[in-house]
Every structure is written in structure tokens, then in C-alpha cells.
Structure 1
Amino acid sequence: MGIAAGAVDAAGPPARLLDSEAVLHEGVEALTACDPVMARIVAAGAVPPLRKRPPGYEGLAGIIVAQQLSTASAGAIWGRLKRLLPDLTPETFAAAADPDLKAAGLSGPKIRTLRAVAEAVGTGRLPLDALHILGADEAHRLMVAVHGIGPWTADVYLLFCLGHPDAFPAGDLALQEAARLADGLDARPGAAALKERAELWRPWRGVAAKVLWAYYRVAKARDAAPLPS
């Protein structure tokens, strides 16, 4: 039997990770059963792809590097960083010199964030390898406690790299616009309003985010999801 939306303690660990098309389909079915708006937009073509990225320090670093950059610019910087550090780990990044990292295209704030993440992983304050066994809210709390990791970064990592089915980046503008269109609102809901709206979708809020990004693609004829394929 599948897990119905709203049926799991919000503080508990996920019953399963979003790591296969079968689990994604289960989440979509649960959402369409509990929310007629979800049922309508899925029927209109908002069928999301799975989209996964590697977990761990390198996966998180890729999200941080790509923030506020075009896909092309992010790809170029990432390529130079990987040539500099083929084995990108907390240890290798901590040992890299700032001038070399800046020459690869990293800004000062991103270097500081990636160093803070490396330190937090090394000291155990950020257990990247164990976040998947925590509830989405607790995993989110641990991530945003690290300097430079904001709510969006935390939730995108949890959703795309760990496959946490209940991670929900409510501050994402494309999600807010998709929710506006789906609910027939005059204005985009803010992060707080969208987070409240998403309570209905627990423990599948991450799948709901994927459905909303897919609906944005249907409505706007362009992809706005993070980490495009």
C-alpha cells in the first residue's frame, strides 16, 4: 500500500527515498488523490522527471557553484574547478589556495561557503552522509546552520541529491509562480504562504515541487527547475 499524503509524522524520517521512477509515481498518485489541484495539473501534462544528482560534498558544491549563474557560466566554472580539484572533497577543497579557486571563477562568498561546508563536514556538524535518515525539517535545520547555506540550497540538495521526498524549497520563484497559476491566484504566494499550502502534501512535498516545476514548464514553455538535465 502506498503512503497517503498527510499520513506521516512531519518530524520523522522518510519511509523511502525518492530514488526511482516507481517511488516518484507513488508520490504523484498520493498527491493527486489528496488535492484536486494536483490532479488537474498532472492531467494537464505536469508529469515530472526524476532528476537526480550525486550526494555528498561534491553534489552540494555543484549547487552552490551554480547559484545565481546561467547554466553556461555555471558549467564553465564547474569544469575549471574540477580540473583544479578532480577529487573534490572537503579535504581537497580546504587545502586549495584562494587565488587558484578565484582563477577557476569562484567568487569570494562562494569560496567562504564551500570552506565553511568543508569544515562542518569535517567536524561532524553537517553529517551529509546521514541527512537522508532525518526528517526533512531536521535535515534542513542542520544545513542552514552552516554559514552560506540558505533555505533554497538546503532543500534543493535534500531533494535532488539525497532524494528526500518531503524537501520543499518554498522560496523558489518558479514554484511560487506555478502555484499561482495552479491555484488561480492574482499574485504569487510568498515563501511562507507556499510553505503553508504545502502542508497538505506531506510527506510528498518534494514530489509536489517536481510536479509544480513540471507545470511551470507546461504553462510557460520553458524549464525553470534547478539542476536541469
Structure 2
Amino acid sequence: MGIGAGAVDAGSPPARLLDSEAVLQEGVAALTRCDPVMARIVAAGAVPPLRKRPPGYEGLAGIIVAQQLSTASAGAIWNRLKCLLPVLTPESLAGAAEPDLKAAGLSAPKIRTLRAVAEAVAAGSLPLDGLHALPADEAHRLMVAVRGIGPWTADVYLLFCLGHPDAFPAGDLALQEAARLADGLDARPSAPALTARAELWRPWRGVAAKVLWAYYRVAKARDAAPVSS
């Protein structure tokens, strides 16, 4: 793996939330200073968009609903769910009838997860409104303690809904493939290997993920481009 010059400002305060383009670019600049691989792929066009989703219960529910579905299927189910529950809160979901949720297109496992999240929020064991103030690892631990929330779901929520600058979904296949391409590896790194690689990027691992996703798009576009004669 390509290893950079050193971790990003290890003794500095935690990075700020990714709530503006300025903060995102601050993170990108920090990564390019500490890791030559990051500097190279950013120079090659891996410029990430800010991209945020709504936070709170509704934002997390949207991620859960969309898991392992096509964009079209997820959108259709989400629209039916929002027609059933225009105000989607832990309370409204908990009070919804099982047959109605299934009629909206939700599978039994996803209904269980949405209910488990609603119960955890109501009990105070999952403080969705306060996760942004916690270190990424602690926020991640609280989320995956809820039945049905896996590591990928937790990190995607922390990164895209809360703008947590250090969330890193190492199990994401596109992220692993981008890391393989960036580091010139023969095979995609495993989630543990990519997690270890990402230690260099603290406290901007979330920005590193965005850069790698951007590089994945650049690489795919390059591979799809017609060869000139």
C-alpha cells in the first residue's frame, strides 16, 4: 500500500463537521499534505462533492430502506412509506401497523430494524441528535449496538447525514476498489486492511472516503472512454 508522510495533524483538535465546501476543502488539503497518494488522485480529478442528506430518524430510515435495492426500487418504497407516514419519526413508525408497512414495500427485516431504531431513540440509547459531537468510533459503536444497523449503515449515516469528518465505511466495495486502484494493488483490500490504511487520514477519514469515491468515478469514466484511433 502507498503510505504517506505521516498522519494528519495527530495532535490537533478534531476536525469540524463537513457542513460547508470550505471545511471539505480544508480536509482535502490536509490529506494531500500527509499522503502522496491522496495528492496524486486529487490532482487526477478526484474532487469530491459535499453531498449531504437530512439528519435524524428520517435520514437514517432512508438509508435503511435503500439498502441492497436499486435506486428505482428504493425510491418507490420510500415514496409509499412517506405517503403512509408524511411525518416520519420514531413515534409515527412505532405506531404504524405491520400490514401497512409491508404494503408500502418494506421487508420484515427492515421493519424490525426501523422499529429497533425507534425504540433505541425513545430509550435514549441512540442519541441521533448528539452523535455528531462524539468521536467517530464511539458514535459508530452506539449505532451498531442497535439490532439491524450494520457498520456500513452506521458510517454512511455519520458521514452523509451528520457530516462527521472522520466516519469511514471501510466495508463499501466501491471504496475498496478505489483504494486498490489508488494504491496499485492486485486485489481489493479487506475492510480491516482498509481501516488500517485509513489511520493515516485521521481526523479526516470521511473526507478521504469522499476523495476515494470521486476517484472511483474518475477511473470508471476513464475506462469507459472510447479509444481514439
What is the TM-score when the length of structure 1 is the normalising length? Answer: 0.92
Q: Find the structure with the greater CA-based Rg.
A: 2
Counterpart residue identity of residue 165, structure 1: P
What is aligned with 1:56?
A: 56
Judge conservation of contact 1:178–1:212 (CA < 8 Å) in 2: yes
1:86-142 CA-to-partner distances (Å, cap 9, x unmatched) read 000000000000100000000000000000000000000000000010000000000
Alignment RMSD: 1.3
What is aligned with 1:21?
A: 21
What is aligned with 2:196?
A: 196
1:26-66 CA-to-partner distances (Å, cap 9, x unmatched) read 00000000000000000000000000001000000000000
Is residue 44 of structure 1 aligned with residue 44 of structure 2?
Answer: yes
Judge conservation of contact 2:15–2:165 (CA < 8 Å) in 1: no
Counterpart residue identity of residue 39, structure 1: A
What is aligned with 2:155?
A: 155
Judge conservation of contact 1:18–1:164 (CA < 8 Å) in 2: yes
Q: List structure 1 segments (4+ residues) > 6 angstroms apart after TM superposition.
A: none
- Look up the SS of the partner of 2:192 in the other structure: helix
Count of residue pairs the alignment pairs up = 216
- Look up the SS of the partner of 2:129 in the other structure: coil
Counterpart residue identity of residue 125, structure 1: S
What is aligned with 2:212?
A: 212
What is aligned with 2:3?
A: none
Matches of 1:97 and 1:155, distance apart in 2: 29
Counterpart residue identity of residue 5, structure 1: V
Counterpart residue identity of residue 174, structure 1: A
Identity score, percent: 88
Matches of 2:8 and 2:23, distance apart in 1: 13
Matches of 2:213 and 2:171, distance apart in 1: 13
* 1:16 Cα offset (Å): 1.4
* 1:69 Cα offset (Å): 0.3
Matches of 2:36 and 2:218, distance apart in 1: 18
* 1:8 Cα offset (Å): 4.7
Matches of 1:15 and 1:38, distance apart in 2: 18
Query: Unaligned regions of 5+ residues in structure 2, if any?
Result: 1-6, 223-229
Judge conservation of contact 1:90–1:122 (CA < 8 Å) in 2: yes
Matches of 1:116 and 1:170, distance apart in 2: 24
Counterpart residue identity of residue 137, structure 1: D
Is residue 117 of structure 1 aligned with residue 117 of structure 2?
Answer: yes
What is aligned with 1:227?
A: none
Matches of 2:9 and 2:87, distance apart in 1: 41
Judge conservation of contact 2:15–2:204 (CA < 8 Å) in 1: no
Matches of 2:171 and 2:156, distance apart in 1: 11
What is aligned with 1:66?
A: 66
Query: Unaligned regions of 5+ residues in structure 1, if any?
Result: 223-229
Matches of 1:85 and 1:8, distance apart in 2: 46
Judge conservation of contact 2:170–2:195 (CA < 8 Å) in 1: yes
Matches of 1:87 and 1:8, distance apart in 2: 43
* 1:6 Cα offset (Å): 4.2
What is aligned with 2:174?
A: 174
What is aligned with 1:130?
A: 130
What is the TM-score when the length of structure 2 is the normalising length? Answer: 0.92
